[in-house]
Amino acid sequence: MHALDWIHRELEALDARQLRRPLRTRSGPQAAAVAVGGRTLLNFASNDYLALASDPRVIEAACRAAHAEGLGAGASPLITGRGEAAAHLEARLAQFEGCQAALVFPSGYAANVGSITALAGEGDCIYSDALNHASIIDGCRLSRAKVQVYPHGDCSRLAELLAQGRGYRRRLIVTDGLFSMDGDLAPLAELGRLAAEYDAMLLVDEAHATGVLGAGGRGAAELLQAEAAVHVRVGTLSKALGAAGGFVCGPAHLIEWLRHAARPYMFSTALPAPVCAAAQTALELIEHEPHRRQTLLAHADHLRRELAAQGWNTGPSSSQIIPILLGSAQRAIDASCQLAEQGLLVPAIRPPTVPQDSSRLRISLSFAHTTEMLARLLDACRSLAARGI
Ligand SMILES: *Cc1c(COP(=O)(O)O)cnc(C)c1O
């Protein structure tokens, strides 16, 4: 029993620093309003950006696939786990992204870890943005490559590191396309130029941008006209697509290599058919219903302008992810609690998810939010300011 006693002390240390996290249980589907802890709150905490997670057409597709192929895939993809729903989804993803091929992974996390470790190893160097997602960081660590972290979005520092770092076998630049805690974009056109100049590979994680950014919904690289410079596109099926799982798109030989070298792909059971079918239907809705992303981004522009007019610092956000930067963990928690009292779910984000002293509220907008809901949020933020947060 005593062997685990140290955990009590670690948890108490988290309490002392206001870093103990609540675990809320939601009842019912993701929607503009969600029931948590017996209360119904307006939901500004979901990555279901296009309100597809509970779309009846998506649910129907999942049900049909469950009847046709069952639920669990039963084996890893290379054994007998890859069914027709997964094969169709991969073909459809490649077509949507304008790539030769695609591979689906058990999660976006697994897609990053699997692709990074398959592309770089001992004797190689990875250049990683300081604010990259944890799954990219973990992929870098597992790869055993040398890792150079460059300051967030700082292309001149990256150029210096690339110029100094000759003599590696292979080099890989990795970045989020749309950063998940600040809602800002990576300088993808410039990163593409640096990759070409220094003969490096460029991997972009479009987890928050797929379905949302760009005229076709392909993400930050499309929006910034940098798609041709991106060698490896990583995405998730769990955010705007409203399902679960991750994917990688690119040239056929890249995907063929990942099948042989991406261990999270090789050694996890394949995605269930209902999940694949749901994601494919969501992808088709993203193609045919561009008004979802257009309305979402127009609402986000409006909200950012109004919050700035109230005096809040929304940082560099230019997307549907809008932080309100507050500094200390305690201030972020107080603000989040006060908003909850007013019926709004806006999470406080603290270290280690964000750097020290950059705790914040993080607003995630969804197509499901109406203009009245945005007005309620703005009213509540105004009253936060009045109460001295
Ligand atoms: C959410 C997220 C992931 C992980 O995706 P999952 O499908 O949830 O595992 C990867 N990268 C970024 C940038 C993310 O925000």
What is the tens place of the pLDDT at every residue in 181-200? 999 999 999 999 999 999 99
Has residue 18 been placed in a domain?
no
Minimum CA distance residue for ligand 1 atom 6 = 108
Q: Which atom number of ligand 1 is nearest to the Cα of residue 176?
A: 13
Taking every pair of C-alpha atoms in the chain, what is the biggest distance, in angstroms? Answer: 61
Q: Give 380's DSSP letter.
A: H
Among 47, 181, 236, 247, which is best to mutate for testing ligand 1, by the most ligand atoms less than 8 A from CB?
A: 236
Radius of gyration of the chain (CA): 21
Has residue 3 been placed in a domain?
no
The Å distance, Cα 108 to ligand 1 centre, comes to 5
Q: Which of 245, 269, 288 is a domain's end point?
A: 288
> What pLDDT score was predicted for residue 90?
98
pTM of the model: 0.96
> What pLDDT score was predicted for residue 19?
81
Minimum CA distance residue for ligand 1 atom 5 = 108
Answer yes or no: is pLDDT of 29 > 90: no
**Which single residue is written with the structure tokens 């798609």?**
227
The Å distance, Cα 255 to ligand 1 centre, comes to 20
> What pLDDT score was predicted for residue 69?
95
Has residue 206 been placed in a domain?
yes
Contacts of 383-389 with C-beta under 8 Å, sequence gap 24+, read 383/338, 383/342, 384/335, 384/338, 384/339, 385/310, 385/311, 385/312, 387/338, 389/326, 389/331, 389/334, 389/335, 389/338
Answer yes or no: is pLDDT of 18 > 90: no
Of residues 37 and 337, the one with the higher pLDDT is: 337
Question: In terms of domains, do 93 and 138 share one?
Answer: yes
> What pLDDT score was predicted for residue 14?
92
The Å distance, Cα 47 to ligand 1 centre, comes to 10
Confidence of residue 4 (pLDDT cuts 50, 70, 90): very high
Minimum CA distance residue for ligand 1 atom 12 = 207
The Å distance, Cα 208 to ligand 1 centre, comes to 8
d(CA 302, CA 226): 27
Q: Which atom number of ligand 1 is nearest to the Cα of residue 208?
A: 15
Question: In terms of domains, do 110 and 243 share one?
Answer: yes
The Å distance, Cα 207 to ligand 1 centre, comes to 6
**Mean of per-residue pLDDT scores for the chain:** 96
Angle formed by the axes of helices 56-69 and 273-288, nearest 10°: 150
Question: In terms of domains, do 302 and 224 share one?
Answer: no
d(CA 228, CA 176): 17
d(CA 63, CA 137): 36
The Å distance, Cα 111 to ligand 1 centre, comes to 9
Has residue 5 been placed in a domain?
no
Percent of the chain with pLDDT over 70: 100
> What pLDDT score was predicted for residue 28?
87
Question: In terms of domains, do 345 and 197 share one?
Answer: no
Minimum CA distance residue for ligand 1 atom 7 = 108
Question: In terms of domains, do 235 and 367 share one?
Answer: no
Distant-in-sequence, close-in-space partners of 109: CB < 8 Å, separation ≥ 6: 134, 135, 138, 246
CA distance readout (Å), 243 to 192, 195, 312? 30, 32, 33
Question: In terms of domains, do 34 and 128 share one?
Answer: no
Confidence of residue 21 (pLDDT cuts 50, 70, 90): confident
Question: In terms of domains, do 152 and 272 share one?
Answer: yes
| Identity of the residue numbered 152 | H
Answer yes or no: is pLDDT of 1 > 80: no
> What pLDDT score was predicted for residue 352?
83
Has residue 151 been placed in a domain?
yes
Confidence of residue 388 (pLDDT cuts 50, 70, 90): confident
Among 109, 131, 174, 362, which is best to mutate for testing ligand 1, by the most ligand atoms less than 8 A from CB?
A: 109
CATH number reported for the structural domain that contains residue 80 in this entry: 3.40.640.10
Question: In terms of domains, do 239 and 294 share one?
Answer: no
The Å distance, Cα 385 to ligand 1 centre, comes to 32
Q: Which of 288, 309, 343 is a domain's end point?
A: 288
Angle formed by the axes of helices 291-309 and 273-288, nearest 10°: 80
Minimum CA distance residue for ligand 1 atom 1 = 207
Ligand 1 site residues, Cβ closer than 6 angstroms: 107-109, 112, 133, 135, 176, 180, 205, 207-208, 236, 238, 246
Question: In terms of domains, do 216 and 274 share one?
Answer: yes
Q: Which of 230, 264, 288 is a domain's end point?
A: 288
> What pLDDT score was predicted for residue 255?
98
Provide the pairing of β-strand 171-176 with 201-205: parallel
Minimum CA distance residue for ligand 1 atom 14 = 207
CB atoms closer than 10 angstroms to residue 39: 11
CA distance readout (Å), 212 to 179, 206, 237? 13, 10, 13
Q: List alpha helices for the chain, DSSP H.
A: 5-16, 56-69, 84-97, 108-119, 134-143, 155-164, 188-197, 220-223, 252-261, 263-266, 273-288, 291-309, 329-341, 371-386
Question: 36 lies in which domain range?
Answer: 23-49+290-386
Confidence of residue 166 (pLDDT cuts 50, 70, 90): confident
The Å distance, Cα 109 to ligand 1 centre, comes to 5
Question: In terms of domains, do 65 and 198 share one?
Answer: yes
Query: Is residue 122 within 8 Å of 145, Cβ to Cβ?
Result: yes
Choose among 180, 129, 175: nearest CA to 321: 180
> What pLDDT score was predicted for residue 124?
98
Confidence of residue 30 (pLDDT cuts 50, 70, 90): confident
Question: In terms of domains, do 183 and 36 share one?
Answer: no
Number of domains making up the chain? 2
Of residues 355 and 279, the one with the higher pLDDT is: 279
Which active-site residues does the annotation give? 180, 208, 239
Q: Which atom number of ligand 1 is nearest to the Cα of residue 109?
A: 9
Has residue 175 been placed in a domain?
yes
What is the tens place of the pLDDT at every residue in 65-122? 999 999 999 999 999 999 999 999 999 999 999 999 999 999 999 999 999 999 999 9
Among 180, 181, 233, which is best to mutate for testing ligand 1, by the most ligand atoms less than 8 A from CB?
A: 180
Among 239, 241, 321, 349, which is best to mutate for testing ligand 1, by the most ligand atoms less than 8 A from CB?
A: 239
Residues forming a β-bridge with 34:
41
CA distance readout (Å), 71 to 90, 139, 271? 18, 29, 9
> What pLDDT score was predicted for residue 23?
86
Has residue 358 been placed in a domain?
yes
Choose among 230, 231, 228, 268: nearest CA to 246: 268
Has residue 2 been placed in a domain?
no
Choose among 299, 296, 301, 327: nearest CA to 313: 327
> What pLDDT score was predicted for residue 38?
85
What is the tens place of the pLDDT at every residue in 142-156? 999 999 999 999 999
CATH number reported for the structural domain that contains residue 369 in this entry: 3.90.1150.10
Question: In terms of domains, do 33 and 110 share one?
Answer: no
